């Protein structure tokens, strides 16, 4: 999870569409969270 956030912060200044970049980060975090719930339940 930290890796996703770090990658987003590093690349944030380089991207043209910052909103899309943040939305993709949030989608990755959400899918990562649901995957972890499936694994541990």
Residue range 7-40, pLDDT digits in tens: 999 999 999 999 999 999 999 999 987 766 667 7
Q: Is pLDDT above 70 for 41?
A: no
Q: What is the pLDDT of residue 16?
A: 97
Q: What is the pLDDT of residue 28?
A: 94
The model's pTM:
0.75
Q: 15: Cβ–Cβ under 8 A, 6 or more apart, which residues?
A: 21
Residue with the two structure tokens 């200044």: 13
Q: What is the pLDDT of residue 7?
A: 95
Q: Is pLDDT above 90 for 3?
A: yes
């Amino acid at each position: 999870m930290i890796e996703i956030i770090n990658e987003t912060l590093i690349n944030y200044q380089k991207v043209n569409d910052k909103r899309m970049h943040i939305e993709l980060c949030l989608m990755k975090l959400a899918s990562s969270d649901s995957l972890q719930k499936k694994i541990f339940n």
